[in-house]
Structure 1
Amino acid sequence: MPRAALPVLLLPLLGLAVATAADCPSSTWIQFQDSCYIFLQEAIKVESIEDVRNQCTDHGADMISIHNEEENTFILNTLKKQWKGPDDILLGMFYDTDDESFKWFDKSNMTFVKWTDQDGETLVDTCAFLQMKTGEWKKGNCELSSVEGTLCKAVIPYQKKYLSDNHILISALVIASTLILTVLGAVIWFLHKRGADSDFTTVFSAAPQSPCDDNCVLVVAEENEYAVQFD
């Protein structure tokens, strides 16, 4: 196999890994663990909580949900360093009066909470807010007239995340497989070439030869001479 064919074989296979390098929708998003985050720094008038959600769903995301202390800290630090937002950030959470429990709008499980102590609170039509100063959550009324910004979160699809996390391994396996196939092809070609040369030598060696050696020729000559004498 010609050496120039090797890069040609690699290009379509390595393209899979290259195409999955960027996990988030654009550079304006920030990635943490298996999700992408963006703070839409736009004040909007609010008639219902759905107006806030629409800000995120229009970008292929949903309002923020938080599932562990590390994520809570990441959001808090990022808001302080890179995003300019209000003192309290609206979380993507609502109180379900049917189940009498808080739930995330994105339908993810409630695996982590960080409530600040609040006594005598009314839970009907209640939303949650992240306090920038403390990192704790507080409950508040969902009937807002406006918000100064919306924090959105998009989960990286499993397939894209898997390919991205393993694109180095995939590339290595592709290169190794291609090299093995290249070497195997060269060996097969060499053996085929060698077999063809061997067949030519065998045919040449099998050409008809005299059945007698020098002694045999001498005996035949003497017999012929003896026969002539008696004739």
Structure 2
Amino acid sequence: MPPAALSRLLLPLLGLAAATVADCPSSTWVQFQDSCYIFLEEAIQVQSIEDVRNQCTGQGADMLSIHNEEENAFIMETLKKRWKGPDNVLLGMFYDTDDASFKWFDNSNMTYDKWAEQEDGEDLVDTCGFLHTKTGEWRKRDCEGSFVEGTLCKAAIPYDKKYLSDNYILISTLVIASTVILTVLGAIIWFLYKRNSDSGFTTVFSTSSQSPYNDDCILVLEDENEYAV
């Protein structure tokens, strides 16, 4: 099989290997590390933070939680460039009076914070956290009666999907490597086949074009013909 034909045969396989696995539900979402994010532009008057949270749970997600400086910076940059979001984004946290501390709605650990320096009021029960997208700082504000210009939701990528995605990358690499090797071997085999085929044709042609008698035989035959006359 010619190398070109072999390449055409393997191209669909190569294209399959090069395809990427979409970890997020759709292109509307943005992936960062092990999570997917979506910004819902619908403005809402907050009577309770649950009003905002219901928007996210309706998407199969929860309100935003942030766990490191890289994620905080990612949110800021993406809100500016892609989502064109507001200056303040509501964080998915609540004040737990039992522990006298803020906690994330998605039950993840509070391993990181970036609170701006401000005095806390006596009662933090109805206090919400907001990410100020221009400075990256978090600020405490009263939830009730707040007006939000959009909601940022976050969903973790399921473990099984991440596991399959990692395996897919490995398999894709192996398929691409195998495809390249097969293409090279096919080209070498085709080259050797053509070379041997051409050599065989030349040998046959050269042999068949030669006279069955050499010069000495021709001279002897001529002498015999003279005596015969």
What range is the shorter-chain TM-score in? 0.5 to 0.7
Distance 1:99 1:120, change over 3 A: closer
Distance 1:132 1:176, change over 3 A: closer
Q: 2:71 & 2:109 partners in 1: Cα distance?
A: 15
CA contact (8 A) 2:63 2:152 kept: yes
Deviation of 1:120 after TM superposition, in Å, equals 4.1
Where do residues 55-204 of structure 1 align in structure 2 (5 Å cutoff)? 55-121=55-121, 122-171=123-172
Deviation of 1:83 after TM superposition, in Å, equals 1.0
Deviation of 1:47 after TM superposition, in Å, equals 2.1
Gapped runs of 5+ residues in structure 2?
1-8, 179-229
CA contact (8 A) 2:64 2:92 kept: yes
Q: 2:150 & 2:113 partners in 1: Cα distance?
A: 22
Q: 2:28 & 2:50 partners in 1: Cα distance?
A: 23
What secondary structure sits across from 1:151 in the alignment? strand
Identity of aligned residues (%): 76
Gapped runs of 5+ residues in structure 1?
1-6, 178-231
Deviation of 1:165 after TM superposition, in Å, equals 2.6
Where do residues 43-62 of structure 1 align in structure 2 (5 Å cutoff)? 43-62=43-62
Cα RMSD (Å): 2.9
Show the counterpart of 1:193. Answer: none
CA contact (8 A) 1:41 1:84 kept: no
Q: Given the two structures, how large is their TM-score scaled by the length of structure 2?
A: 0.66
Q: 1:176 & 1:135 partners in 2: Cα distance?
A: 44
Give CA deviations for 1:103-160 in whole Å, capped at 9, x if unaligned: 0000001010000001243422111000112100011111134321000001000110
Q: 2:176 & 2:47 partners in 1: Cα distance?
A: 57
Q: Given the two structures, how large is their TM-score scaled by the length of structure 1?
A: 0.65
Q: Which amino acid aligns with 1:162?
A: Y
